[in-house]
Amino acid sequence: MKLSPLDEYPIHQTPAPVSWPATSDRNFYDRSYFNVLDRAGRFMALTGIGYYPRLGVKDAYFVVRRGDTQTAVHLSDAIDDDRLNQHVGGYRLDVVEPLQEMHLTLADTEGIAADLTWRGLFPAALEKPHDMLTDRRVTLQASRFAQVGTWEGWIDVDGERLTVDHDSSVASRDRSWGIRPVGEAEPPGRPDAAFRGMWWLYLPLAFDDFHLFLILQEDPDGHRSLYDCTRRWRDGRVEQLDGVRVTVHYTPGTRIPDGAQIDFLNRAGDRIHLEVQSKLFAPIAFGAGYGGDSTWAHGTWKGGPFTERVSFDLTDPDVMAGAAFSLIDHVCSAVCTEPDGQRRDGAGLFEHGVIGPHHPSGFTEWTDVAATPADRAQESADRAQPSADRAQPSAEEQASPA
């Protein structure tokens, strides 16, 4: 165990130095995630930095989607004990004002650079704890707080500068820590209960007077293992919303949504209607290191200071086949209609994914996709055919007495 500058402060939670996690689980992590969302959908970026004390690794990523290309840079190095200065290679995250203002910079790395300042639009909110278990171990046990905000600054990709300002951008961020699968794959031992699939929806949205957070996780049968829905008003009120019903609109032939409709009930039982529309999307398994990413896994030891760049052609069907196994982040516009008919315009992140079967969505197999117009026409014809057959009695039926 080693001391760090944080040990000078009265913030200890265990009888050990602050940088020593209370658990010996190799999958302990401590990470920040940010997105940079252009409200008009011209581009979007996903980025984050993580520390993995039990693996001895720290790393960061910066992903940019513009046009039909998604490009990522990865940075990795050995962990250090100075957590007050978060950096990996040329990637640096400085806390200017805790829970309100952050400064993120990326020195030119493989052709990508950035200088961005985050400001929160509303106070950060602590979400419900997230837990997932198998028959024999904890696979996910995490705390997380989230916040909606805006950015000011710029992103450079191969000399092309993308300007970001507080009026043109909307964003969300989260800080999470705990246990989740990281680093190299572990030996599985005796096979455990198989992963059956997951349906996920996450909506951190910013409106003029409030911010709204919706988190839903369902199993293939539609059972909700995680549910949280609140909106927090500028005057400090926290309103819990219940009775959530979701209809996701998928692009035919895919599992990629182009929008969704959500209905809520307030505590008085009045219905609130929300519509979100995708402006641009980025699969987070394409370079951001999340589940199914073939190029990058958070916490993987790369042998020392390391950088690389990878790109994805989103017009390539072979590339996009992997989107069926990824959560997908969208820049979205949002319209919230109150019980009295008042409409409020907002924007933010629309994160959704269906991995495996989800019977309420009509996906019964791992490879099912949303029906195309031709599929629907064939289904209608198939349904109509038996009816037509029944309408014509057979010769035997015609000969039978009434």
Q: What is the DSSP string of 167-217?
A: TTEEEEEEEEEEE---SSPPP--S--SPP--EEEEEEEEEESSEEEEEEEE
The number of beta carbons lying within 10 Å of the beta carbon of residue 131 is 14
pLDDT given for residue 393 in this prediction:
47
Q: Looking at the domain 17-184+194-391, which fold is it?
A: AttH-like fold (2.40.370)
Query: Which residue, 291, 294, 298, 283, is CA-closest to 74?
Result: 298
Low-confidence ranges of the chain (pLDDT < 70): 192-194, 373-380, 383, 386-402
pLDDT given for residue 380 in this prediction:
65
Look at the pTM and tell me if it is higher than 0.85. yes
Residue 2: half-sphere exposure toward Cβ, Cα within 13 Å: 9
Q: Could you give the CA distance from residue 57 to residue 51 in angstroms, rounded to a whole number?
A: 6
pLDDT given for residue 386 in this prediction:
61
Helix or strand holding residue 36 (H, E): strand 28-38
pLDDT given for residue 387 in this prediction:
52
Q: At a CB cut-off of 8 Å and minimum separation 6, what does 139 contact? A: 132, 133, 179, 180, 181
pLDDT given for residue 398 in this prediction:
40
Neighbouring-strand partners of residue 37: 44, 170
Sorted by where each begins, the domain ranges of the chain are 17-184+194-391
